[in-house]
Amino acid sequence: MQTPGATPAQSEQPSMFIPKVAFRSHCTIADQFRAHWELSVPVTPEGGIVAAKSLIAFALHGVAPNTTLNWHSDPAAEVAVVSIDPPFVAWTDIRILSCSATDAASPIIHLFAPSMSFTIPWSDVRELFTQEGSNLLISLTFVLSLFLHPPSGVSVPTICDPTALIAISRLLDTRQNHDVTFTFPGGKKLYADRCMLEKKSAYFRQFFRGSDEVDIDSKEGVLGGEDSDDDETATQPSEAATAATQDGDSDPPSQLLQKKRKLAEGAAFAQTDRYILPVSGISYTTFRAVLYYFYAEWITFAPLTSALKPLPDGRNPREESIRAYLRQNPGKPVPVSSKSVYAVASKYQLQALRALSLAHIESCLSTSNIITELFSSFCRNYPEPRKKMVEFVTRHWTDVKASPAWAAAKQEAREAGDAYFIDIMGQIMDVL
């Protein structure tokens, strides 16, 4: 397959032509398409941006027979743009990593959105640069996918890798050779590897390098207030089928890393150090699910409580939905709240997981539960989900304003003098 020629850049510099190194693509299942592209991106000797473009043509069978995947390094905006033309409706998952990196903790750029175009700050791309005086050889993988919704109501995104999940099953529940231990109230523990945490999260890269700007035990990442979908407060089915019994091991005091060290100390961390990091404010269930996502990119979301109808026998419909999923999928991690995961993903700077969580929340919205969600503690604390809820209300305003839930919300706001309601009403009126 020949790489088409490049068009001139919009910046003052002419764009360089980026030759194809390798490209392969295939349709994995009916609703998922995967492609892998390796390209050598021109950079300055220090890894700075150089105007350059490249595109590769391929056929997306049944959707777009004449499609191009594009890379554009734009010095004027200090960004790299990855896009697919022509654009169409699908969820896009992209990963970019260095092909020449030798460090296991070398970062990976991972983004997920209902978009065909991604704008990446060059500062993020530059972190992939490993060798002065040479081009940046990168590997770019993208997946176009839809969501799968099993009958139980639990949602499993199709970007997950079940083989990777099997390979690490229970691995994070036992100490093995891991160098990071997360401890939780009540004595539970989870285990991980510093190199993997640094690879996937800018937050952990800062933390392990001794930055004073991050705190592993801060309250950021907590939903705040009462929320029926919070994995911290909601009753979960037993995790006996999915979490190993804690082995009760402990490390000698000389090996313990307290939750914070200053920058000067951070530079002296030895690779053999073991890190024991206390976690509070985030449930063990949620943190375990996010940790497995780090390794296998597998996440399973429980339905929103507000989206389910009450069961006639009084049982909790959310818990029953989770139990039904676990019966059909023994050994898989317990489905968790997409709200709780969104909060954790926001804290640890996991852009793709945050977008994935928000997409699940949006998929559960209806005119029957939108008021419950819009005025929940979750929406009060997080602007991005709140914006999505307001957009939903404006699209369905006729039905929403006539609903008993809206009338009740107005009455409660009037009695409580709720400034949040006034702000939301103003946003709705601005659109209408």
Indicate the domain borders of the chain.
Answer: 16-145, 156-364, 377-431
- Average pLDDT over every residue of 126-131: 81
What is the mean pLDDT of the segment spanning 398-404? 95
Provide the 3-class DSSP secondary structure of residue 102: coil
Q: Is the pLDDT of residue 367 over 50?
A: yes
Give residue 37's pLDDT: 85
pLDDT at residue 268 greater than cutoff 60: no
**pLDDT-wise least confident of 223-237, 296-310, 357-371, 391-405:** 223-237
Q: pLDDT tens digits for 317-342?
A: 999 999 988 888 777 778 999 999 99
Length of the chain: 432
- Note the pLDDT of residue 4: 39
Average pLDDT rounded to a whole number, residues 66-70? 85
Q: Buried b / exposed e across 351-388, counting CB within 10 Å, b at 16+?
A: bbbbbbbbbbbbebbebebbbbbbbbebbbbbeebbeb
The secondary structure of residue 2, as a DSSP letter, is P
259 neighbors 183 (Cβ within 8 angstroms): no
**How far is residue 380's CA from residue 362's CA, in Å, rounded to a whole number?**
16
Architecture of the domain defined by 16-145: Sandwich (2.60)
By CB neighbour count within 10 A (0-12 exposed, 13-18 middle, 19+ buried), where does 322 fall?
buried
Sheet holding 64-74, edge to edge: 16-17, 52-60, 64-74, 79-85, 117-121
What confidence score (pLDDT) does residue 310 get? 87
pLDDT at 385: 96
Tell how strand 156-157 and strand 91-98 pair up.
unpaired
pLDDT band for position 243 (50/70/90)? very low
Asked whether residue 275 carries a pLDDT value surpassing 50, the answer given is yes
The yes-or-no verdict on residue 210 having pLDDT over 80 is no
pLDDT confidence of residue 297: 80
Does domain 156-364 sit in CATH 3.90.1150.10? no
